[in-house]
Each structure stands twice: as structure tokens, then as C-alpha cells.
């Protein structure tokens, strides 16, 4: 018996990175899963499906641009057609287009806001209608500690994630009492993306600056997401929890 037997999970951005780890973590715990992907290669999509199926999970991939309402409608309709309900939503899809503030283009600003803020709004609204009707739901948004403590060259991403934190609170107020909404404020995740964005020196400094003296992993973060999605956390809502090794302490 898994913690999420008979639960249906929708994960955005499920073909790579944290989304992929989250899909597989839910698969190992008995959930049925729908995941969206946009720019991921078909080989990556097929690999996630094969791994989830090897764990015994029913899984449905769906190509969608979450910043487009028509794609979001099709995504949610596909989930409902396959499984008849959506119990858990993880808004994991994200995008970075870093640049110095005075060099940041309007296109880069709009693109990051669209994926990191508008996308979670559209998907959560479409899924939230079903969750409210069925009187059960868990929504987990993937935010970042840079929404609390900004860094240079990150204005579009920081603004999007700060907006997502407030969207989390607004959703929690309006979708309760049967639907909870929380966010995970990610710190440094040891991943190919992070090692591309930051120098080795910067990463060593990041590790030394937190009490646990290390970065996290996609798999460890996925385990935390599953905890937030479980019924053990049914009394928690409207929170953005820093998952950052103690980098941000309020």
C-alpha cells in the first residue's frame, strides 16, 4: 500500500528536473499521474513514462504550454477523461532567463512571468474548480528563496516567484476549506541547471553559508513535496516554506 493509492496527481513540467523526480516519487507511492511537458524531447517523456510504469503507476503525458489557456484546458480535460478526478496538483514547470536589470529584455521578462506566474494561475484555476466540486485537493507551487532575498541578474524570476507566493495565499483563502495550497521556497538544488547558472566558487559559498553545509537534490525535494501533499499536512495552507538548508530564516 502506498501513501497515494487511489489519488490522481497532475504535475506540470514533469519530463525533467524536479518535475520528473516528483512524478517518479508519486509513482512509487501508488498515485496515478498526468504530467505536462512543453520543450522536452520525446525521448525524455517516454523515459519518465517507462520508469513510472515500471513502478506500477498509470501515467498520461500531455504536451502543453501552461501559459496558454487553451493548452491548459486541454491538459485538464485529458486528466479528467483518463482518471475522472485530480486530487493533487504540483506546479513545477519553471523557466529562467537571467540577465542584468538594465539589459533585461521585455521578451525575457514576459516569458518568465508567463511560465512561472501566469501558468500556475491558469492551471490552478482550471484544476481548482474540480477540486472545490469534489471537496478535496492539494496544490503545491514551486517557488524560490529568491522571492524573499533577491540576487543580481534575476529580476524577472524573482518578481514571478514573489507573485507566486502571494498567489499561493490568495488561492488558499478562496479555495478552502477542502483544498489546501502551499508553496516550496527552493534554495540551491544540486543539478545540471544550477551548475550551469553558477560558478563552482559561488556554489561552494552557497554551501558554506547554510547551517547544513550542502545543497539539496531533486529527489529530496520531491520527498518534501509528497509530505505537503499528504493528509498529514491537511492543517497547513497558505504557506511558502523555505526548503533551503537554513539560508532564509524569518
Q: 141 with 91: CB under 8 angstroms?
A: yes
Other Cβ atoms within 10 Å of 137 Cβ, number: 24
Residue 157 annotated as catalytic = yes
* Distance of alpha carbon 211 from alpha carbon 213, whole angstroms: 5
Closest of 146, 164, 144 to residue 155, by C-alpha: 146
- Dihedral angle, C-alpha 185, 188, 189, 192, nearest 10 °: 130
* Distance of alpha carbon 184 from alpha carbon 206, whole angstroms: 19
Closest of 24, 129, 141 to residue 86, by C-alpha: 129
User: Which residues are annotated as catalytic?
Assistant: 157
Amino acid at each position: 500500500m502506498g501513501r497515494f493509492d487511489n489519488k490522481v496527481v497532475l504535475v506540470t513540467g514533469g519530463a525533467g528536473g524536479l518535475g520528473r523526480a516528483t512524478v517518479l516519487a508519486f509513482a512509487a507511492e501508488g498515485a496515478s499521474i498526468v504530467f505536462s511537458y512543453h520543450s522536452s524531447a520525446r525521448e525524455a517523456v517516454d523515459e519518465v513514462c517507462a520508469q513510472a510504469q515500471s513502478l506500477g503507476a498509470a501515467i498520461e503525458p500531455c504536451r502543453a504550454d501552461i501559459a496558454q489557456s487553451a493548452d491548459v484546458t486541454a491538459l485538464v480535460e485529458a486528466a479528467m477523461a483518463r482518471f475522472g478526478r485530480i486530487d493533487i496538483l504540483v506546479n513545477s514547470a519553471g523557466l529562467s532567463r537571467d540577465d542584468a536589470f538594465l539589459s533585461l529584455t521585455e521578451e525575457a521578462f514576459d516569458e518568465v512571468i508567463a511560465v512561472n506566474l501566469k501558468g500556475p494561475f491558469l492551471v490552478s484555476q482550471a484544476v481548482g474548480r474540480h477540486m472545490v466540486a469534489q471537496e478535496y485537493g492539494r496544490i503545491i507551487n514551486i517557488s524560490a528563496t529568491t522571492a524573499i532575498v533577491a540576487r543580481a541578474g534575476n529580476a524577472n524570476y524573482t518578481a514571478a516567484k514573489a507573485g507566486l507566493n502571494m498567489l499561493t495565499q490568495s488561492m488558499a483563502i478562496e479555495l478552502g476549506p477542502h483544498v489546501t495550497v502551499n508553496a516550496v521556497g527552493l534554495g540551491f538544488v544540486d543539478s545540471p541547471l544550477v551548475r550551469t547558472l553558477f560558478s563552482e566558487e559561488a556554489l561552494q559559498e552557497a554551501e558554506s553559508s547554510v547551517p547544513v553545509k550542502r545543497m539539496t537534490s531533486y529527489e529530496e525535494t520531491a520527498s518534501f513535496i509528497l509530505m505537503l501533499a499528504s493528509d498529514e499536512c491537511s492543517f497547513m495552507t497558505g504557506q511558502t516554506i523555505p526548503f533551503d538548508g537554513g539560508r532564509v530564516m524569518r
